[in-house]
């Protein structure tokens, strides 16, 4: 597969000794994805700009692994989180949501930005949404008014909304539980982007309500002890950890593979 730096290889090997299921989102040095037209969507949302790129294929691998869980009866509500900030959590969530919406059976996907402190969904999509999850949970809006779309069939999105004074209380409320139950009936899969685990308890609260959690880990940066602590926090919250997604793995892409793709 090419050369991996010794430090990165050692870190990956250490994680693999403790991780049962892991998907690697790879960054290829030969692949450059450019924004097309006048779209305001962030160029890191590669599944949107280039559905056939080698990097997008890795998100499809992740999609396949999720859909094959539990003997073909995968979880419907999935929380995505990380241990610390800047591990690629929100970018991974958006790319995965698009890849799932592009499945051959066209499932109905809803992506919720549940980071009520620093939600980034609208930033990455280059749009503005005044109504979001905060307004729904605080009773100031119906959830239908917070839904919006981009030009991806079967993908619906919900922004985080205004920053509230009490995010933990809102996410732990009966309104949140009832909302998830309603959305499970209307969508095939609901992906929930949440804040990092080490900083705040939001992801644990939602992880306990959802069917499962994916933990994003950045190779070469996130220490093994931090990942272990995050796993412990999820276990203490009785959240079901589905697996880990390892980001920022760098491989050289052989010429013959590049030509085939």
Write down the pLDDT at residue 27.
Answer: 46
- Give the pair of three-digit tokens for residue 127: 């749009």
- Give the pair of three-digit tokens for residue 105: 């059976």
Would you state the torsion angle of the CA atoms of residues 160, 162, 167, 173, taken in this order, to the nearest 10 degrees?
A: -70
Write down the pLDDT at residue 30.
Answer: 37
Alpha helices, DSSP H, located in 73-221: 89-101, 121-125, 133-137, 167-171, 174-186, 202-209
Average pLDDT, the chain: 84
Contacts of 128 (CB under 8 A, 6+ apart): 122
pLDDT tens profile 167-191 = 999 999 999 999 999 999 999 999 9
Write down the pLDDT at residue 178.
Answer: 96
Write down the pLDDT at residue 258.
Answer: 45
Write down the pLDDT at residue 221.
Answer: 83
Q: Give the residue extent of every domain in the chain.
A: 6-260
pLDDT tens profile 93-123 = 999 999 999 999 899 999 999 999 999 999 9
Write down the pLDDT at residue 191.
Answer: 98
Write down the pLDDT at residue 35.
Answer: 41
Write down the pLDDT at residue 250.
Answer: 62
- CA dist., res. 57 & res. 120, Å (int): 24
What fold does the segment set 6-260 form as a domain? Answer: Rossmann fold (3.40.50)
- CA dist., res. 215 & res. 245, Å (int): 6
Query: pLDDT below 70 — which residues of the chain?
Result: 1-39, 72, 250-261
- In Å, how far from its chain's centre is CA 79? 7
pLDDT tens profile 1-18 = 444 445 455 544 544 443
Partners of 192 in beta bridges: 79, 112
């Amino acid at each position: 597969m090419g050369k991996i730096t010794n430090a990165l290889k050692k870190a990956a090997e250490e994680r693999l000794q403790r991780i049962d299921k892991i998907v690697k989102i790879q960054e290829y040095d030969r692949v450059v994805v450019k924004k097309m037209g006048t779209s305001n969507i962030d160029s890191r949302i590669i599944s949107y700009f280039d559905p056939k790129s080698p990097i997008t294929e890795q998100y499809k691998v992740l999609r396949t692994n999720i859909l094959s869980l539990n003997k073909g009866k995968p979880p419907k509500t999935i929380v995505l989180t990380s241990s610390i900030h800047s591990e690629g959590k929100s970018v991974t969530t958006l790319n995965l949501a698009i890849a799932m919406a592009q499945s051959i059976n066209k499932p109905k996907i809803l992506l919720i930005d549940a980071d009520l402190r620093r939600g980034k969904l609208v930033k990455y999509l280059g749009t503005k949404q005044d109504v979001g999850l905060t307004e729904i949970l605080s009773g100031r809006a119906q959830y239908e008014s917070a839904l919006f779309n981009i030009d991806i069939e079967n993908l619906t999105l919900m922004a985080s909304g205004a920053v509230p004074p009490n995010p933990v209380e809102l996410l732990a409320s009966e309104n949140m539980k009832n909302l998830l139950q309603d959305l499970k009936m209307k969508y095939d899969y609901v992906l929930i982007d949440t804040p990092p685990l080490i900083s705040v308890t939001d992801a644990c609260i939602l992880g306990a309500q959802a069917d499962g959690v994916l933990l994003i880990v950045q190779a070469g940066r996130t220490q093994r002890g931090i990942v272990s602590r995050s796993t412990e926090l999820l276990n203490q919250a009785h959240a079901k950890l589905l697996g880990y997604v390892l980001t920022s793995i760098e491989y050289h892409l052989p010429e013959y593979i590049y030509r085939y793709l």
